[in-house]
Structure 1
């Protein structure tokens, strides 16, 4: 048979493994030097925790896939196995990214003095002398009937980064003014 290092399949598998390891190192560098999650796009810590749980389940499933492929007797140079390992590397990188965001969270809770994504805001419409309560959420989570408004609505855009006591103008067909009474 000879030395394994002379085998072309062995060399190809080693090259692939080296590329995967380089990608993981590169992703680790990026993760430790930059914030990969735009916290303004996250409605809540619970969403991050849910994503982390889903990623861990997905990682388990991919690990099971790898075991199944290996159980079927394919070698380490199998293209399918390499693609599954790439997928696993991506999942592991995202897990580390989400864990990093959760561990270093200084999100909206630490800056309650201003309206941010995820803030619950009580406003007073000055023209009608009427108080209303809204939660500022991302577009996907918007549910106006239940008081959850998208951060892209004119009202939310007027409120973002403002503090209690500020009076802001909401620019719509007939502009109106609201005062921020409370931020949670």
Structure 2
């Protein structure tokens, strides 16, 4: 998620979520881990102390995540609601498509990769479907290669 130098695209909602996670990790999680390390140290011998090893691993993970989040937020390109146009599919918009094969309507919200949540139909602009929809207009028919084959969508509506 986010190689160095790669710009992270976020909506305001995404920025808020990352800031909340960062705050949680810096305050709550750091204290918990420090406490775990202290407790583990009180057990004495560190050579066979799995609690200590686990706490140190947790600490390394959390510090890594904190650094990653800080980096993402620093280099983030925040999509301004006012800049989102509805003439073509772009990051930050919601697009309603008709699945031609299943005659089913689906609404995707196109977001940056850091915010993607396929379970909530928030798809990344870098995912196969997101990439396939980017830049398309209402009425366009799109064929997208996915692991299961090819899906055909007709774009019905684009909204903020």
Q: TM-score, normalised by structure 1?
A: 0.49
Question: Where do 1:1-184 residues align within 5 Å?
Answer: 34=4, 44-56=14-26, 57-72=28-43, 74-80=44-50, 81-109=52-80, 112=84, 115-116=90-91, 119-121=92-94, 135-136=109-110, 138-142=117-121, 150=123, 158-160=132-134, 162=135, 168-171=140-143, 176-178=154-156, 180=158, 184=160
List runs of 5+ in structure 2 lacking aligned partners: 99-106, 111-115, 144-149
1:67 Cα deviation (Å)? 1.1
List runs of 5+ in structure 1 lacking aligned partners: 1-30, 126-132, 143-148
Please state whether the residue corresponding to 2:109 is helix, strand or coil. Answer: strand
C-alpha distance in structure 2 between counterparts of 1:37 and 1:77, whole Å: 43
C-alpha distance in structure 2 between counterparts of 1:37 and 1:169, whole Å: 29
Number of residue-to-residue matches in the alignment: 131
C-alpha distance in structure 1 between counterparts of 2:37 and 2:108, whole Å: 47
Q: Based on CA coordinates, which of the two structures has the bigger radius of gyration? A: 1
Structure with the higher strand share, 1 or 2 = 2
RMSD: 4.3
C-alpha distance in structure 1 between counterparts of 2:47 and 2:7, whole Å: 34
C-alpha distance in structure 2 between counterparts of 1:94 and 1:49, whole Å: 12
C-alpha distance in structure 2 between counterparts of 1:37 and 1:82, whole Å: 35
C-alpha distance in structure 2 between counterparts of 1:140 and 1:175, whole Å: 19
C-alpha distance in structure 2 between counterparts of 1:44 and 1:101, whole Å: 11
Distance of aligned partners of 1:150 and 1:98 in 2 relative to their CA distance in 1, 3 Å threshold:
closer
Distance of aligned partners of 1:62 and 1:134 in 2 relative to their CA distance in 1, 3 Å threshold:
same
C-alpha distance in structure 2 between counterparts of 1:96 and 1:87, whole Å: 14
C-alpha distance in structure 2 between counterparts of 1:50 and 1:167, whole Å: 39
C-alpha distance in structure 1 between counterparts of 2:61 and 2:71, whole Å: 15
1:99 Cα deviation (Å)? 1.1
Q: TM-score, normalised by structure 2?
A: 0.54
